[in-house]
Amino acid sequence: MAVPLISTSLWFPDRSFKNRNRRPIWFSIPVYHGLFVVMSCWRKKMPLLSLFPFRIHRRQSLTLTDRIPRNPAMPAAAQQPWAILAAIPEVAMDKEAAKCTFPPGADASVAFGEPPRASVLTVTPQVSLPACLGRYPYVAAADSSGLLLLCGTHPRSRNCLMASHHVYDAVTGEVFTLPNPPRPMAIYGANIGLIVKGDAGCMVAAHQSAPRHGVDTSAAVLLSYKVGECRKWREREIAPCSPPIPSDWFPEGVVSHGGMLWWVDLSHGLLACDPFADQPELLHIPLPAVTDELPADSMWSPTSSPVNRGASGCVKVSGGRLRYVLIHGSLNAPVVSMWMLVASTWCPAWRWEWIHEISMPLAEVWADESYVNTKLPLIIPALAFIHPMDSDSVYFFLGSYIFAVDLQLRKVVGFSEFKMLDPPRRLYRKRSSRFISFYFLPPTMSAHVRAKRLRPQGQS
């Protein structure tokens, strides 16, 4: 039997009765389930108005936060074949082996593997040398157009090492080397990102703090380089944002979404900016707070070591939205929770908010037959990433294996060995979301090339 709906129109008069300017708010309330919805919101501490579709008719000036659609459709890249790209590339030091790896005249090549297997980028020594002096080459960003941003390493002496930045086009096989930036970049490309925006082209941008007279401030500097149109970096100062940027901001990576770059700090939140704007604005969006973080002495704790924060949390684009996944709770009863970032329309004071989607105790997965069949130990895994199209599927690292868990079904839906280069042991970095990037096959590639490159590794 269908539940009858009562459509109610409320009219809120203006403060001045003489003007009689009224603003309509339309919504529908389920009669039989109204009390149930109110009690559910009260128990989950959720705002009641977030469950009702409504629209406030008023004029507002267009700001930076309004440039992202409220309900963005699934991006075109989400319909393309995708791959899991290992962040640390291989370097072909053997010239004879390089002839079989690279196309004629190319300095880089990607060997694609069917997910959940790894896809690996291989470069020549002219692009980067292998890991040395505690530094290693790193894929900082991957775009659906087929462009990769690579940070290379080049030792100059026993104690000196120079970093380089390259843009690799998987469609043409070309590698474009960027000039040296005017400011030193964060190690392993943690604060540099790549964005492709329609006819505006491709831009590489980095966010850095702007200390004045040796004192840290909330101001920032945006370094940007437009590929193909300039020969030097552009340096612009950005006004302070609210809330201010913490002094201990530790960049974890950069995500491209909604025409903007999002700098991620898994302890403090996100910084968003449109590098194509003439006067870029900086947005600071704190991450949702939890009261039961993992103990500080554990490897997965966000407060233990900044370099391993990616093992307990990650921010990725999934289903056309930015989503945040966190492992919290206790070592004996860990919980995996997910939030979705949405633009708030009912509260003008807070333009963005995190909506809690789901929480799943890991014990329920450990007890399921699908996990028992993997023969993996009952220990807390490290986060790898969220499925780019299915936000219910979250991938985890455990040793040399990767497995996917459906948060709704509470079971393992994918399992495989994951072969990739690990960072040097002396850095004490573990496999985590920090060493994974999505890579979508460009639509310009033919179906034959897609099928050939997406074959499992080891097959001809």
pLDDT tens digits along 207-258: 887 654 444 555 688 999 999 877 789 999 888 787 788 777 888 889 999 9
Residues 11 and 121 in one domain: no
| Least confident stretch, 196-200, 363-367, 393-397 | 196-200
Higher pLDDT, 167 or 103: 167
pLDDT of residue 370: 97
Q: How many CA atoms lie within 13 A of 276 on its CB side?
A: 18
381: confidence class by pLDDT, cuts 50, 70, 90: very high
187: confidence class by pLDDT, cuts 50, 70, 90: low
pLDDT of residue 296: 55
Q: What is the CATH number of the domain that holds 122?
A: 2.120.10
Query: What percentage of the chain reaches a pLDDT higher than 90?
Result: 37
Residue 59 lies in a domain: no
d(CA 398, CA 413): 15
Residue 460 lies in a domain: no
Higher pLDDT, 36 or 354: 354
Residue 381 lies in a domain: yes
Tally of helices (H runs) and strands (E runs) in the chain: 5, 27
pLDDT of residue 424: 67
pLDDT of residue 190: 80
* DSSP line for 248-271: T----EEEEETTEEEEEETTTEEE
- Buried b / exposed e over 303-333, threshold 16 CB at 10 Å, is ebebbbbbbbbbbbbbbbbbbbbbbbbeeee
Q: Given a cut of 80, is residue 115 above it in pLDDT?
A: yes
Residue 219 lies in a domain: yes
| Least confident stretch, 272-276, 294-298, 316-320 | 294-298
455 torsion bin: left (phi>0), alpha (psi -120 to 50), beta (else): beta
Q: Given a cut of 70, is residue 124 above it in pLDDT?
A: yes
- CB of 352 closer than 8 Å to CB of 285: yes
Is 304 strand, coil or helix? coil
Residue 442 lies in a domain: yes
Residues 136 and 32 in one domain: no
pLDDT of residue 457: 44
Residues 219 and 331 in one domain: yes
pLDDT tens digits along 429-449: 678 888 888 888 776 654 434
The average confidence (pLDDT) of the chain is: 76
d(CA 198, CA 311): 34
Nearest 5 degrees, angle CA 436-CA 440-CA 441? 130
pLDDT of residue 443: 66
Enclosing H/E stretch for 374: none
Residues 322 and 446 in one domain: yes
Q: How many CB atoms lie within 10 A of CB 229?
A: 9
- CB of 76 closer than 8 Å to CB of 144: yes
Q: Given a cut of 80, is residue 42 above it in pLDDT?
A: no
Query: What percentage of the chain reaches a pLDDT higher than 70?
Result: 69
Residue 216 lies in a domain: yes
| Least confident stretch, 178-182, 293-297, 333-337 | 293-297
Q: Chain centroid to CA 387: how far?
A: 11
403: confidence class by pLDDT, cuts 50, 70, 90: very high
- Distances in Å between the Cα of 245 and the Cα atoms of 209, 324, 456 are 9, 19, 44
Residue 73 lies in a domain: no
DSSP 396: E
* DSSP line for 16-82: STTT--EEEEEEEEETTTHHHHHHHHHHHT--GGGGS-----------GGGGS-SSPPPPGGGGS-E
405: confidence class by pLDDT, cuts 50, 70, 90: very high
pLDDT of residue 62: 31
Residues 236 and 159 in one domain: yes
Residues 158 and 268 in one domain: yes
Q: How many CA atoms lie within 13 A of 220 on its CB side?
A: 28
Question: For the chain, what is the domain count?
Answer: 2
**What is the C-alpha end-to-end distance of the chain, expressed in Å?**
57
Q: Given a cut of 90, is residue 374 above it in pLDDT?
A: yes
Residues 303 and 439 in one domain: yes
| Least confident stretch, 64-73, 127-136, 388-397, 406-415 | 64-73
Long-range CB contacts (within 8 A, 24+) of 402-408: 402/84, 402/116, 403/116, 403/371, 403/374, 403/376, 404/116, 405/336, 405/360, 405/365, 407/336, 407/338, 407/358, 407/360, 408/358
pLDDT tens digits along 76-100: 434 568 899 999 999 998 877 777 7
Cα-flanking dihedrals φ and ψ of residue 447, to 5°? -65, -30
Residues 35 and 115 in one domain: no
- Mention every residue, 6+ apart, whose C-beta is less than 8 A from residue 362: 327, 334, 335, 336, 380
Higher pLDDT, 183 or 59: 183
Structural domain including 10 reads: 5-51
Q: What is the mean pLDDT of residues 170-182?
A: 87
Higher pLDDT, 325 or 283: 325
Q: Which of 18-32, 45-59, 383-397 has the highest mean pLDDT?
A: 383-397
Residues 376 and 331 in one domain: yes
pLDDT of residue 9: 35
Q: Given a cut of 80, is residue 184 above it in pLDDT?
A: no
Q: Given a cut of 50, is residue 4 above it in pLDDT?
A: no
Residues 35 and 118 in one domain: no
In a 10 Å sphere around its CB, with 0-12 CB exposed, 13-18 middle and 19+ buried, how is residue 68 labelled?
middle
Residue 84 lies in a domain: yes
Residues 221 and 347 in one domain: yes
105: confidence class by pLDDT, cuts 50, 70, 90: confident
Quickly tell me which residue has 């960049």 as its tokens: 251
Amino acid 169 reads D
| Least confident stretch, 58-67, 108-117, 407-416 | 58-67
Residues 405 and 362 in one domain: yes
Q: Given a cut of 80, is residue 64 above it in pLDDT?
A: no
